Amino acid sequence: MIGYLEAVITGILLGGLYGIVGIGLSMVFGIMRQVNLAHGELMILSSYFSLLFVHLMGLHPLLTLFLVLPIMFAIGYLIQAFLFNRVMQETMEPFLIISFGLSIILQNALLLICTPDARSLKTGLVIMSLDVLGLFRIPLIQVINFAVGLLVLLLLHQFMKKTYLGWAIHAASEDLSGAKLMGINPKRVYCFAMGIAALTAGISGVLVGMTFTFYPHSGTQYLIIAFGVVILGGLGSLPGTFLGGMILGISQLVGGRVIGPGFQLLSGYLILIIILTIRPQGLLGRR
């Protein structure tokens, strides 16, 4: 029984990490109605950036966020300005293909520069753990992931509610021509939105790097997790993303406990398919 409780609690914590993995993807869909297949690669790219700064300056991985995040924002802004803005049409295929081409390029460039070896952002945090009522211990890093995930969600929510840029982003996604008439330049707004999405990818990349090992091709694996999370919650819904993360996290860990550790991912996918069969638009998604 305690084993299951442990699985559920670790699952919730893992869900916090998954939520932030998916949040950028969800934002881009909510705002532009497009799917960014390079999201996973942007994540892994920032893991490598963080690794670079750790090696160069001997910083703690969490401190490298201050360097990684501006870089990721700039990358997101630039790829939207030079690549994606050229294919913002009604249909989804051109955007899909462009982001897909970008993901292949990033993945193989990383493979070329950083070799296929497994890397991780080593810290003392990995071996520390918290005692839960004397029943079992949970790794401290998971608690940090969850806390950061929740913080990012709240900040993003406040940003969209309170700032002028947030309103502009909202307006451009709600009614494009209306927003244009009010003097909003949608292409610039999209650039900022993609920058913010890349920034969240940056945060999740550093957290994932601190929690697990990563390779140049890890992006695909996280892309599918991001998709799972986002689709469970409903595309474009920020709270839904967090909920989706927790459902995926819990179903992976509890499923792994029931069937066996080799089936962790599988049980997550099964729950995903079952939920989508019952609610094809996701849990909190609108039709």
Partner 1 sequence: MRLHRIRIIIIALLLLALALIPFWASRYVENVCLLVCVYVTMASVWNLLAGYSGMVSLGQQMFVGVGGYTLAVLSMYYGLPIFLSILVGGFISLLLAVLISFPIFRMKGVYFAIGTWVIAEALGICFSNWGYVKYGMGIFIQPTQKMSMSTIYYASAVICVGSLFLVYLLLRSNLGLALMAIRDDDVASEMMGVNIFRCKLVCFLLSAFITGVSAGVLYLNTVFIQPFEAFGIGWTVNLLFIVIIGGIGTLEGPIVGAVTFVILQQFLSEYVGYNLIILGAITIAVIFFYPRGIFGTLQHKYGMALFPIRRD
Site for partner 1, rule CB under 8 A: 29, 35, 83, 86-87, 92-94, 96-98, 100-105, 107-109, 111-112, 220, 224, 227-228, 231, 235, 260, 262-263, 265-266, 269-270, 272-274, 276-277, 280-282
Q: Which residue, 98 or 193, is less far from partner 1 as judged by CB?
A: 98
- The distance of closest approach from Cβ of residue 120 to partner 1 in the complex, given in angstroms and rounded to an integer, is 22
- The distance of closest approach from Cβ of residue 227 to partner 1 in the complex, given in angstroms and rounded to an integer, is 5
Q: Which residue, 56 or 109, is less far from partner 1 as judged by CB?
A: 109
Residue 33 CA: distances (Å) to CA of 30, 49, 111, 176, 190 = 6, 29, 31, 12, 11
- The distance of closest approach from Cβ of residue 47 to partner 1 in the complex, given in angstroms and rounded to an integer, is 20
Q: Which residue, 55 or 287, is less far from partner 1 as judged by CB?
A: 287
Q: Which residue, 166 or 236, is less far from partner 1 as judged by CB?
A: 236
DSSP state, residue 33: S
- The distance of closest approach from Cβ of residue 230 to partner 1 in the complex, given in angstroms and rounded to an integer, is 9
d(CA 72, CA 81): 14
CA torsion angle 181 176 151 221 (round to 10): -150
Cβ contact 182:171 at 8 Å: yes
- The distance of closest approach from Cβ of residue 193 to partner 1 in the complex, given in angstroms and rounded to an integer, is 18
Q: Which residue, 100 or 167, is less far from partner 1 as judged by CB?
A: 100
Question: Please, which residues have CB within 8 angstroms of residue 260's CB and are 6 or more apart in sequence?
Answer: none
Cβ contact 111:210 at 8 Å: no
Q: Minimal CA–CA distance to 210: which of 3, 19, 51, 5?
A: 51
